Amino acid sequence: MARLAEAAVRMCDAGVVEALASILADERAAWFDVRINALKALGELTRATARAATALVAPKTFSAVVNVNKKYKETPVEAQRLAVQCYINLLDYHETMRALLTPQFIQDLLHILQRIDIKLKILACSALSMLMSEDPGRQLFTSKGGEKIVSENLKVEHLGLRTALCNLILASVTNAGAVVYHGIGTLHYMVTNRQARYAVSAWEAALESVFKHNPSAKFAYTGRLDVTDFTHDGFYVQKRISDRFPPLKDIVRDARRPFKDPVFVINFGKSKLASEPSHERSSSDSKVDSNLRNYLDNLLSWFGEPESSCKGSKSMQYTEVDESEYEVRYREKCHEVSTTLKSRAEQLAEFVVEQMCGLTEERDCSMLSVDLHLADLMLDLNTSVLPLGHVRCGGPLERALLYKALADRVAVPCALCRGGGGAWCEVAVPESDPDEDEIIPGTALRGYPAGLLRVNYIVDLERGRLVRAGGADAQRVCGVTCSQRYVAGKSPDECYCDALFYV
């Protein structure tokens, strides 16, 4: 009868939900054939109509369903599964979901995840994933230690459970949650477990979602930050990567003299050009890299604020124009954007080279000079964690980091790569019709949408210029195409491609 909408509504009006809840709460009744059937009926009613769901979330009736899992030692596992299925039905409705979005309810679901039954765990993951659609739900999930419980369950080799857990990670991960996953080793486990990455379809998506909230870890484990990945305050990179990429707080805590391998940290803080009251500035301004902030303020004074420059630029008003006239306007606009963006990327490259060219008139930036400069900085600051703005003599890694950090804040689409014994930056400049003479054979994509950015220039941070991707100059900056990424985890196999040229 519950599958017929009109009948379900009439039963709700007649108080059937309250009657079924009272049967479920009667401890003298037998579980099988009585209380379990009451649970099944409640599940069908809540699935059929929102009125039944509203009646069930009332405190007196809902306590009967909650007690099924609270007293799990006295209830059969079939009843526990049916109770969680009732939760899922209730979460399908916005009003009842807001009523269930409480710390106690999320804690109850996390307790269910710690039990043995796999099907029960999967149902709990589904219920939690539905609660994560609201920001308060994600905050409560982290405050109740949900990341640790998920990490423990990920080690259970069950395909369905791992898929449900990965979907839960996708729905629940936040910046704070990504830090927790990194700190307890879950991120390293997900990266290095190659068998699970191939077997579980949602594994890669969950890993990418964690990387999205932790770009430092993404760069360490993949060797690349894409154009859509942005460096935030607190982004850090190790000069020498070990088997496991540690959290920054562990690096600071374990730093001991003599300092060997530096760690570069980015922290711009508030811009001086930002129009905001002084009392809103955070108390962490003492940790802000003043040199980096001065770099950014100088660049913004040259280029202008990205938001204001976009608003002040010429825009096409919506008017009915002839198709040929529209094409002319479109090409003019594309040419204007392309020219401005390319010029900005080139000027930024020159600026980075000027700041990282060394402290002497000879501009000696050899490997020995860079290592000596970094060693002096670590001694002066008494730590191996170096603010990037303090580095004035930099090699490929230091220059690429500074370029990426500044490019993200002056609206230059930039990707950061590391591998082949060095690091470099790639920029994406939209081009409507590139010159045929400038196209490297094999690199042009016919019919590629102009609105989608793709990397087409390599930044030469030794000379301060842009070079076409795929050319000989680009290969000199990036290394050979088969060179391995320099990433955390297992060291790549040795490559002998360079030796082939000398045979």
pLDDT tens by residue, 183-223: 999 999 999 998 999 999 999 999 999 999 999 999 999 99
Residues 161 and 209 in one domain: yes
Query: Is the predicted pLDDT of residue 169 greater than 90, yes or no?
Result: yes
Query: Is the predicted pLDDT of residue 273 greater than 50, yes or no?
Result: no
CA angle 309, 312, 313 (to 5 degrees): 85
- Tell me what pLDDT residue 311 has: 42
CA angle 359, 364, 369 (to 5 degrees): 85
What residues contact 398, with CB distance under 8 A and at least 6 apart?
264, 356, 370, 388, 391
Residues 408 and 463 in one domain: yes
Burial of 402 (C-beta count, 10 Å sphere; 0-12/13-18/19+)? buried
Residues 206 and 254 in one domain: no
Query: Is the predicted pLDDT of residue 238 greater than 70, yes or no?
Result: yes
Beta strands in 105-201 (DSSP E): none
Ramachandran area for residue 447 (φ above 0: left; ψ -120 to 50: alpha; else beta): left
Which of 129-138, 173-182, 491-500 is predicted with the least confidence, judged by mean pLDDT? 491-500
Query: Is the predicted pLDDT of residue 318 greater than 60, yes or no?
Result: no
Residue with the larger pLDDT of the pair 150 and 431:
150
Residues 355 and 466 in one domain: yes
Q: Is 252 contained in some domain?
A: yes
Residues 154 and 255 in one domain: no
- Tell me what pLDDT residue 495 has: 46
What residues contact 254, with CB distance under 8 A and at least 6 apart?
246
Strand, coil or helix: 115: coil
- What's the whole-number mean pLDDT along residues 4-29? 84
Q: Is 280 contained in some domain?
A: no
Q: Please answer whether residues 381 and 351 qualify as being in contact, where contact means their C-beta atoms are separated by less than 8 angstroms.
A: no
Q: Is 132 contained in some domain?
A: yes
Domain count, the chain: 2
Q: Give the rounded percent of residues in the chain with a pLDDT score beyond 70.
A: 79
Q: What is the rounded CA–CA span in Å between residue 284 and residue 422?
A: 33
Task: List the structure tokens of 405.
Answer: 């950090």
Q: How far are the Cα atoms of 100, 106, 152, 169, 256 from residue 161, in angstroms, in the given order? A: 24, 19, 12, 12, 42
Residues 73 and 173 in one domain: yes
Q: Please answer whether residues 106 and 140 qualify as being in contact, where contact means their C-beta atoms are separated by less than 8 angstroms.
A: yes
The CATH number of whichever domain residue 176 belongs to comes to 1.25.10.10
As a dihedral over the C-alpha atoms of residue 385, residue 390, residue 396, residue 402, rounded to 10 degrees, the angle is 100
What band does 10 get if pLDDT is binned at 50, 70 and 90? Answer: confident
pLDDT tens readout for residues 424-454: 999 988 765 555 545 545 544 444 454 466 7
Q: Please answer whether residues 215 and 418 qualify as being in contact, where contact means their C-beta atoms are separated by less than 8 angstroms.
A: no
Q: Please answer whether residues 345 and 429 qualify as being in contact, where contact means their C-beta atoms are separated by less than 8 angstroms.
A: yes
Of 166, 194, 214, the position where a domain reaches its end is 214
- Tell me what pLDDT residue 324 has: 47
| pTM assigned to the model | 0.83
Residue with the larger pLDDT of the pair 20 and 317:
20
Residues 342 and 444 in one domain: yes
Of 168, 197, 214, the position where a domain reaches its end is 214
- Tell me what pLDDT residue 484 has: 63
- What's the whole-number mean pLDDT along residues 393-418? 93
Which of 14-23, 379-388, 405-414, 471-480 is predicted with the least confidence, judged by mean pLDDT? 471-480
Residues 257 and 108 in one domain: no
Residues 306 and 455 in one domain: yes
Query: Is the predicted pLDDT of residue 285 greater than 50, yes or no?
Result: no
Q: Is 232 contained in some domain?
A: no
Q: Is 172 contained in some domain?
A: yes
Residues 325 and 194 in one domain: no
- Tell me what pLDDT residue 173 has: 95
Residue with the larger pLDDT of the pair 423 and 490:
423
What average pLDDT does the chain have? 82
Please name which of 340, 319, 339 lies closest in space to residue 329, comparing C-alpha atoms.
Answer: 319
Q: Residue 457: what are its φ and ψ, rounded to 5°?
A: -135, 145
Q: Is 224 contained in some domain?
A: no
Structural domain that includes position 483: 248-270+288-502
Residues 261 and 382 in one domain: yes
What residues contact 436, with CB distance under 8 A and at least 6 apart?
none
Q: Is 467 contained in some domain?
A: yes
Q: Is 227 contained in some domain?
A: no
- Tell me what pLDDT residue 78 has: 94
